Amino acid sequence: MQTKAVEDYLKAIYEVQEREGRVATSALAERLQISAASATGMIKKLAEMGLVSHEPYQGVRLTEPGRKIALEVIRHHRLVETYLVEAMGLTWDKVHDEAEKWEHVLSEELEDRMDEMLGRPTHDPHGAPIPTREGHIPETPRLKLSEAVAGETVTIAQVADDDAAMLRYLGERGLYPGVAVTVTHIEPFEGPLTVRREDRDISLGRPVAECIKVRRPGEA
């Protein structure tokens, strides 16, 4: 049975798998803020439903049916975020929690109307790709701003959407997807880095820079 809990787990598995390659039970429990025992129990249920595969020491992986459900939920979430920003005028730091609610109840008819009204968007306000109805999703950049080197100019491609305070901080400084920045200085020992946007220098802590994906010149 496809419940909210099932959808939340599948979405979380997809997101952790995209970030880390393999999904350990501990990482999934941390992502969902639950106990490892609860995560283990649900993983067994999902495996019985044919939505995930789980082998000792190999972690959890989505099966094709599980991946399809995860991408459907993610599509709903990102479409709703786009709708709330573009059609209703909300700022990008205020849409994540609302989209978390809508993603489970959006009908196919409303999804299609919303998609059409928005002009078939390919990315949400945070730069994340929106999966198609058929379950296709473009590759996302792997390079984090924290991995860029001093003197390098990169373009912001995607920003994590689940920290409203961070999004407000970045928005106040004009650091949105599509904006080019030059890394001018990096403090050693995991210290902050400084980027220049136009004629303004902006200091970013390493945890914030970890949440920003960027593209180098010439990358799609």
In a domain, 177, yes or no: yes
Amino acid, res. 88: M
Final residue before a domain boundary, out of 93, 121, 138: 138
Q: How many domains does the chain have?
A: 3
CATH code, 150: 2.30.30.90
In a domain, 79, yes or no: yes
Same-domain status, 130 and 155: no
Same-domain status, 186 and 208: yes
pLDDT 10s digits, 102-143 = 999 999 999 999 999 999 999 999 999 999 999 899 888 889
Other residues' Cβ atoms within 10 Å of the Cβ of residue 140: 13
In a domain, 70, yes or no: no
In a domain, 11, yes or no: yes
In a domain, 182, yes or no: yes
Domain that residue 52 falls in: 4-62
pLDDT 10s digits, 146-177 = 999 999 999 999 999 989 999 999 999 999 99
Helices 108-117 and 64-86, packing angle to 10 deg: 50
